[in-house]
Amino acid sequence: MTKPRPALYRLVMQWDKDARIDEREQRSFVALLNEVLYHGEMRFTDYHQALVDGDFPERLQKWLSHVSSGAQQKALFSILRHLLFVDESQMLSLHRDTYRRVITPWLTRGRVSAGDLLAPTFEKSVRQMMASYLICSVTESFNFSWFQSVNALVGIPKPVVLGEEPRTARAILTSIDCSPFDGVIVLEDFVGTGKQASRILKVVREFFGPDKRMLFAPMIILDDWLQNLVSDPQLSDVHIEPTLTIPKAHCVRERPSDGEHSEFTLIRAVVNATASMVTRRLDEQDDPPTNQFGYGKCGALVITCHNASNNALPLLHHRAPQWTPLFVRVHHSKGRTK
């Protein structure tokens, strides 16, 4: 294979040359490549699990080579114009913002005065309030170590991972003496469809009862699925407040969404054209996507430095026999049932 950077520039320079002939084409692919390679060097390196496939320019060249036509390559490359990559620095900021902008106001609402907010002991009093709540997450992907260290949370209860199955969550909660707690704070790094989170939140709500306060604070959530959680009558007394909400128009779904970018029509076409190749099972340990738009057909254009969600477009993260992704997803094998 030729050296990736020169080959990539030759490719996009030809696209820009063609664009000068076709007046309908107003985008500069060279400018986009400059931007993408900058992020590849400065930020995408935070996605450590992808490095086994080479550095970003090498992965990008392989990725584009999986489709043969120029139109499909341009559509595939255009996805990167809309990609939201959350690097380690940004993820730490989300941990900080979740505590300061979501948890702190919820804890202190109706409990402190304006004067208390300016008191030198305010932070200490907030941590004391937080110590009276059970802190947990639905999955182990939430980085409690980062959350505690970046917010200097000393003296709070040891966080608990409830797991993805209601039966497991019930068993864990039963093993804990929850009577001293004033309530529970449930954290999560990324929520896509919310189906998994919803099941566990209902178990927690049932276990704690209506007299205990409950907060669900996902750092990142897809907007339309947030609305499903908020409107669920079984969660009506759960305060649900994300730190960052991804609008529906930022997701490439099977059908166009109001307000989506005009390029999404071409991107949707290449997603469908590569579906059989992208979703093919790699090996016995693989858990391939069942739909080319991802779990729940979300089509999210979001990758975090920790991992790619199964709600993201599979062509970004799924390794198949004839497909090398840009950000290979690390997943758990479901195993075989008897």
213 backbone φψ class: left, alpha, beta (φ>0; ψ -120 to 50): beta
CA distances from 142 to 139, 233, 292 (A): 7, 26, 26
Put residue 21 in one of left, alpha, beta given phi > 0 → left and psi -120 to 50 → alpha: alpha
pLDDT in tens, the chain (338 residues): 568 999 999 999 999 988 775 555 557 899 999 999 999 999 999 999 998 899 999 999 999 999 989 999 999 999 999 999 999 999 999 999 999 999 999 999 878 777 778 788 899 999 999 999 999 999 999 999 999 999 999 888 899 999 999 999 999 999 999 889 999 999 999 999 999 999 999 999 999 988 999 999 999 999 988 999 999 999 999 999 999 999 998 999 999 988 899 999 999 999 999 999 999 999 999 999 999 999 999 999 999 999 999 999 999 999 999 999 999 998 765 543 32
And the tokens for 31? 């400018």
Contact partners, residue 29, CB within 8 Å, separation at least 6: 12, 15, 16, 19, 74, 77
Provide the whole-model pTM: 0.92
Question: Which domains, and CATH codes, for the chain?
Answer: 4-86+257-277+306-317 (no CATH), 88-246 (3.40.50)
Helix (H) or strand (E) holding 118: helix 114-118
- How many angstroms separate the Cα of 25 from the Cα of each of 22, 146, 272? 6, 44, 23
